[in-house]
Chains A and B, each alone.
Chain A
Amino acid sequence: MGIQNLLWQVTKKAFTGGIIGVTISDRCCSVVPVRGDSMSPTFNPQRNSYLDDYVLVEKFCLQDYKFARGDVVVFRDRYIKRIVGLPGEWISSSRDVIRVPEGHCWVEGDNKASSLDSRTFGPIPLGLIRGRVTGVVWPPQRVSKIS
């Protein structure tokens, strides 16, 4: 009987903790690892995967989707890029000049050589954004606020 009770208590605590964690991660902020080097040298300046940067992503920007040029944003599946064009602006890509449609944005990685971004597949809807990066939190020697 004691073991069953203990198991039940632990399950309840884990469930509650999980729900609170999910709520905070959806509405407030979360920490995500940066994969790949498409944002070098801002994130992951060296190609050693043991030292991936972890960044703090804030979710308050999702209330009204107001972003500025230069914001680093996170998409679903941990895709992290910098906003270079806001709706209505004109972007000159490799071959021609494109206007960013309403409700979309033009994103590019800082490492232009190895980054799949809007230069490849065009402007991305703002609705796909899942948060804005505010700073690096790991490893400790690289803790900083994002410019």
Chain B
Amino acid sequence: MRWLRYLNQWRGTAKEALEQVSIVAKFLCLIHVTDRYIISSTHVQGPSMLPTLNLTGDVILAEHLSHRFGKIGLGDIVLVRSPTDPTRMVTKRVLGLEGHRLSFSADPLVGDSSISVVVPKGHVWIQGDNLYASTDSRNFGPVPYNLIEGKALLRVWPPRFFGSLR
């Protein structure tokens, strides 16, 4: 019956281990909920939002509450799931809400031909600040509002550019 005694000895340790694991699990769940529903940090890079965001990459804080309450407005910088590649997130500025009429130049390098669109219901028009190097709604059309996953709050890295984004 010695193995029964060993079992009893280990029971105390097992219980403590389980408690520690459950604390870690709860903490990870809290991180997930905060990251997905409240606030998160994202590394953004690329030329499409020059001069607002740097080419070599910035870390920005984005909040995930506004889009759930419909509080995305004109001029907001939003994190959107790309309509051409659902595994990627893109950062662009909202330049048109549903029902707005917009006109844009089909080819900004060449210049004059201008196309006019009306943003359909349930969609938004997003554009990068750098018109010459950005694939955005001028290429893939208005995107559904529900693809928006966050609104940029402020930039936290690099430190000399810390602050709100305008």
| Cα of A103 to Cα of B140 in the assembled complex, Å | 11
With a cutoff of 8 Å between Cβ atoms, the chain B residues found around residue A27 in the complex are 32
The interface bits of chain B over 28-67 (1 if a CB of A lies within 8 angstroms of the residue's CB, else 0) are 1110110011000000000000000000000000000000
With a cutoff of 8 Å between Cβ atoms, the chain B residues found around residue A23 in the complex are 28-29, 32-33
Report yes or no: B147 in contact with A128, Cβ–Cβ below 8 A: yes
- B103 contacts chain A at the CB level, 8 A cutoff: no
- B73 contacts chain A at the CB level, 8 A cutoff: no
Report yes or no: B83 in contact with A104, Cβ–Cβ below 8 A: yes
Shortest 6 CB-CB contacts between residues of A and residues of B: A127-B81, A23-B29, A127-B86, A103-B84, A126-B86, A125-B83
Report yes or no: B36 in contact with A127, Cβ–Cβ below 8 A: no
- B85 contacts chain A at the CB level, 8 A cutoff: yes
Report yes or no: B86 in contact with A65, Cβ–Cβ below 8 A: yes
Cross-interface CB contact of A103 among B25, B29, B30, B85, cutoff 8 Å: B85
Report yes or no: A125 in contact with B143, Cβ–Cβ below 8 A: yes
Give chain A's interface secondary structure class. helix
Q: Classify chain A's interface size.
A: 10 to 19
Report yes or no: B32 in contact with A26, Cβ–Cβ below 8 A: yes
- A102 contacts chain B at the CB level, 8 A cutoff: yes
Report yes or no: A76 in contact with B146, Cβ–Cβ below 8 A: yes
Interface residues of B (CB under 8 A from A): 25-26, 28-30, 32-33, 36-37, 81-87, 140, 143-144, 146-147
A23-B33, A76-B146 known; A125+B86 contact, CB < 8 A: yes
- A7 contacts chain B at the CB level, 8 A cutoff: no
By beta carbon, the residue of chain B nearest A65 is B86
- A96 contacts chain B at the CB level, 8 A cutoff: no
| Cα of A129 to Cα of B29 in the assembled complex, Å | 22
21 contacting pairs across A/B (C-beta < 8 A) = A16-B26, A19-B29, A22-B29, A23-B28, A23-B32, A23-B33, A26-B32, A65-B87, A76-B146, A101-B84, A101-B140, A102-B85, A103-B82, A104-B83, A125-B143, A125-B147, A127-B82, A127-B83, A127-B86, A128-B144, A128-B147
Point out which of B82, B87, B140 has the most chain A C-beta atoms below 10 A from its C-beta: B87
With a cutoff of 8 Å between Cβ atoms, the chain A residues found around residue B25 in the complex are 20
With a cutoff of 8 Å between Cβ atoms, the chain B residues found around residue A65 in the complex are 86-87
| Cα of A16 to Cα of B23 in the assembled complex, Å | 10
By beta carbon, the residue of chain B nearest A23 is B29
With a cutoff of 8 Å between Cβ atoms, the chain B residues found around residue A22 in the complex are 29, 32-33, 37
| Cα of A104 to Cα of B147 in the assembled complex, Å | 12
Quote the shortest CB–CB distance from B22 to chain A (angstroms).
10
